[in-house]
Amino acid sequence: MMTLPGFILSTLALLMVLTVIYQRSALRHVSYKRYFSEQAVFEGDRLEMVEEIVNAKLLPLPWLRLESSIARGLEFGIQENLGISTGEIYQNHVSMFFLKPYRHIKRRHSVSCNKRGFYRLESVTMTTGDLFGLARKVKTFPLQLELLVYPGLLDIGNLPLPVHSWLGELPVKRWMVEDPFLTAGIREYSAGDSMGLINWKATARTGVMQVHKKDYSADTRLVICLNVEISESMWRNVTDVQRIEQGIRYAATVAEYALLHGIETGFICNGSLGGDGAKTPVTTESMAQLEDFLELLARLTLDRTVPMNRLLELQAESTAASSDFLIISCHQGAGLEAAAQQLQALGHGVEWLVIPEQGREGA
């Protein structure tokens, strides 16, 4: 019969063996992945974040803690074994698991996408150990988890006047350019016509010199200009984020309208994309796909890079073809007005969409 000291020594020896085993092997053959049910959604949409973890070995894991941080703006539903702590910029996400031998667990989390943005999760920290807490093993798993939350699209009729009438005219506005690839019948030869335009069959049939009559193609280009300045005197930090976010929704709504009507749409903004730490303004060539435009707006960060009037001056210097510029701004300061007049003097169209103060929409 084992004596009490012998029992204690045996127990301690067993605990030491378990400690060594868990220290060496707890996270071996453990795999983990996390993904969203959608890659891109709109503000206010719901989706699922799915976690999958596999313990492909005989050793059970009595407890396993997964911890990660992601930017605020995603709201997780209340759920057992899930803890959320929220900071000023990021929220900490903690999941707890119990893994039996050779066990595969899939857990789904309901997520509300409350804020436009580009959400990225690059790693998750996994911590486990034995039942008594004597051994603890920590490992960081790399992840490539990304989610785009597009700005919400509004009813075009709810945009502040007087932009309604201008938008209505945009699809039928045309700069007519003779297209050498389009023909619209024949006509008699006129002085100055190229010999390459002669229609010899029609000439032989009528006995009078005939040439191909060229048709005209339509060319329409819109440039949406989003100003993140609250006032002309603003330096860098946006002090009224919600007002600028509404301006971003205006930009998305106008882009949807224009692109659905076949109008190529460019975009400039004195915010930045900020993905690589660079603080440079956003300028794009004309886009034909709404998804490209919405992705750009989702990634936009509200750090003013340059004064908006300077960005418009650069457009006046670089934009050769006649374009329509829509300036979405909280203010119409003197510098901005002067830049708009410079564009108009060069033959460009300019229209304003002023972002009203919160609570004054439609006032």
Query: Is 323 a domain residue?
Result: yes
Question: Is-contact 236 279, C-beta < 8 A?
Answer: no
Same domain, 295 and 168: yes
Q: Of 4-8, 58-62, 149-153, which range is least confident? A: 4-8
Query: Is 9 a domain residue?
Result: no
What value, to the nearest 5°, has the Cα angle with vertex 124 and ends 30 and 42? Answer: 120
**Mean pLDDT (the chain, rounded):** 83
Residue 119 contacts by C-beta under 8 Å, 6 or more apart in sequence?
A: 70, 71, 73, 74, 146, 147, 148, 149
Say which DSSP state 115 is in.
S
Beta bridge partners of 46: 112
Query: Is 7 a domain residue?
Result: no
The whole-angstrom separation of Cα 215 and Cα 184 is 5
What pLDDT was estimated at residue 211?
63
Question: For 240-269, what is the mean pLDDT?
Answer: 94
Same domain, 162 and 303: yes
CATH code, 90: 2.60.40.1530
Question: Is-contact 322 348, C-beta < 8 A?
Answer: yes
Same domain, 161 and 309: yes
Question: Is the per-residue pLDDT at 49 higher than 80?
Answer: yes
Same domain, 292 and 160: yes
Question: For 178-190, what is the mean pLDDT?
Answer: 56
Strands (E), the chain: 30-36, 40-42, 46-55, 61-71, 74-76, 82-86, 90-99, 103-113, 117-129, 136-150, 175-188, 210-219, 221-226, 264-269, 282-287, 324-329, 349-354
Question: For 302-310, what is the mean pLDDT?
Answer: 92
- In the structure, what pLDDT confidence band is assigned to residue 220 with cuts at 50, 70 and 90? low
| Domain region containing 280 | 156-173+220-354
Number of domains in the chain: 3
Query: Is 268 a domain residue?
Result: yes
Query: Is 129 a domain residue?
Result: yes
pLDDT digits over 101-133, tens only?
A: 999 999 998 999 999 999 999 899 999 988 777
The whole-angstrom separation of Cα 330 and Cα 346 is 25
The whole-angstrom separation of Cα 247 and Cα 259 is 18
Same domain, 267 and 304: yes
Query: Is 4 a domain residue?
Result: no
Same domain, 267 and 326: yes
Query: Is 203 a domain residue?
Result: yes
Say which DSSP state 361 is in.
T
Share of the chain above pLDDT 70, in %: 79
- In the structure, what pLDDT confidence band is assigned to residue 182 with cuts at 50, 70 and 90? very low
Same domain, 89 and 162: no
Query: Is 239 a domain residue?
Result: yes
Same domain, 168 and 288: yes
Same domain, 206 and 347: no
Same domain, 185 and 228: no
Question: For 336-341, what is the mean pLDDT?
Answer: 96
Helix axes 241-260, 290-299, angle to 10 degrees: 170
Question: For 243-254, what is the mean pLDDT?
Answer: 97
Question: Is the per-residue pLDDT at 290 higher than 80?
Answer: yes
End position of a domain, from candidates 192, 217, 242: 217
Same domain, 200 and 346: no
- In the structure, what pLDDT confidence band is assigned to residue 33 with cuts at 50, 70 and 90? very high
CATH code, 271: 3.40.50.410
Same domain, 98 and 202: no
